[in-house]
């Protein structure tokens, strides 16, 4: 999936207030751009790191662009724009690239299944039905190891509880880790960060929830769906 606009390289000065980042362009000028990631971004984005930006001028836009990629180690890139995960997964599902979830004719996004319940990323149907929740993984711990979440996630815990209920009722439910980091080769729950999430994930698997991890390779040209990665519980 190519980026809509060519990305601009820069150096990270700092990230602050969660949604802001100061960067230095190649010509030495400095900009403040949007950081489209609500997480802690642990191990992603230290001062001086090489980054890539999507710069655009639009009426009413307060900032000149958004931060998209970061080089976290020599030759290793991560996409920190977490909303990209849903877009690339949607395209991959339509193309049948995620084989365990292929074969459905219909795809609905941002679906709430009951009053007061969570909004799930996708509901696939025809034939049958499968509820899919996508989580973006960028926390790399070295040696190919990746983990989720990178901060305590009450929202993620709620999703797991509801996915467990869906699976227990006999319907198909799937948690899909979208791994947007070229240095991650397998994924596990980050028990040391959010032990409750790890407990709920294992309980969800016991209830029948399918847990998949899919590699999405970030490059300055776009995001490339690579293939399935192991999930170790």
Span(s) in the chain for CATH 2.40.50.580: 8-76
The whole-number pLDDT of residue 222 equals 96
Task: Over range 183-192, report the average pLDDT.
Answer: 98
pLDDT for position 57: 78
Nearest to 181 by CA among 139, 135, 152, 222: 139
Please give the pLDDT value at position 186.
98
Cα–Cα distance, 149 to 164 (Å, whole number)? 18
pLDDT of residue 61: 78
Share of the chain above pLDDT 70, in %: 100
* Structure confidence at residue 165 as a pLDDT band (50, 70, 90): very high
pLDDT for the residue numbered 37: 92
177, 132 in Cβ contact below 8 A?
no
136 Cβ contact list (under 8 Å, min separation 6) = 82, 84, 85, 178, 180
The tens digit of pLDDT for each residue in 87-146 reads 999 999 999 999 999 999 999 999 988 877 889 999 999 999 999 999 999 999 999 999
Q: Per-residue pLDDT tens for 54-82?
A: 998 777 778 999 999 999 999 999 999 99
Please tell us whether the domain made up of 84-229 is placed in CATH 3.40.50.1950.
no
Give the architecture-level CATH label for domain 8-76. Answer: Beta Barrel (2.40)
What's the rounded mean pLDDT across residues 153-177? 96
Chain Cα centroid distance, residue 141 = 16
Query: Measured between alpha carbons, how far is 74 from 136 in angstroms, rounded to an integer?
Result: 22
Beta-carbon contacts of residue 88 (< 8 Å; ≥ 6 apart): 1, 178, 180, 216, 223, 225
Quote the Cα angle for 170-176-177, to 5°. 150
Task: Name the strand (E) or helix (H) holding 199.
Answer: helix 195-207
Confidence (pLDDT) at 162: 96
* Percentage of residues in the chain having pLDDT higher than 90: 89
At 233 the pLDDT is 94
Rounded CA gap, 147 and 128, in Å? 31
In this prediction, residues 219-232 reach a mean pLDDT of: 96
CA distance 95 to 4: 19
For residue 1, give Cα distances in angstroms to 37, 59, 89.
20, 26, 10
pLDDT band at 164 (very low <50, low <70, confident <90, very high): very high
User: Can you give the pTM of this predicted structure?
Assistant: 0.94
Q: How confident is the model at residue 59, as a pLDDT?
A: 76
Model confidence over 194-212: pLDDT tens digits?
A: 999 999 999 999 999 999 9
Sign (positive or negative) of CA dihedral 170, 156, 201, 89 = positive
Which residue ranges does the chain devote to CATH 3.40.1350.60?
Answer: 84-229
């Amino acid at each position: 999936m190519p980026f809509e606009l060519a990305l601009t390289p820069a150096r990270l000065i700092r990230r602050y207030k969660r949604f802001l980042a100061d960067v230095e362009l190649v010509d030495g000028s400095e900009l403040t751009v949007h950081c489209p990631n609500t997480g802690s971004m642990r191990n992603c984005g230290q001062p001086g790191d090489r980054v890539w930006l999507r710069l655009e001028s639009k009426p009413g836009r307060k900032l000149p662009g958004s931060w998209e990629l970061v080089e976290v180690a020599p030759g290793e890139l991560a996409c920190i724009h977490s909303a990209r995960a849903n877009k690339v997964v949607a395209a991959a599902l339509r193309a049948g690239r995620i084989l365990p979830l292929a074969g459905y004719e219909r795809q609905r996004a941002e679906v709430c299944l009951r009053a007061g319940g969570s909004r799930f990323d996708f509901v696939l149907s025809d034939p049958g039905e499968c509820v899919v929740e996508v989580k973006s993984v960028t926390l790399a711990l070295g040696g190919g190891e990746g983990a989720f979440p990178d901060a305590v996630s009450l929202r993620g815990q709620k999703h797991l509880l509801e996915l467990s209920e869906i699976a227990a009722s006999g319907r198909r439910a799937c948690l899909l880790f979208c791994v947007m980091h070229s240095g991650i080769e397998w994924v596990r729950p980050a028990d040391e960060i959010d032990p409750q999430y790890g407990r709920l994930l294992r309980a969800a698997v016991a209830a029948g929830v399918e847990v998949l991890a899919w590699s999405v390779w970030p490059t300055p040209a776009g995001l490339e769906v690579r293939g399935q990665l192991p999930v170790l519980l």
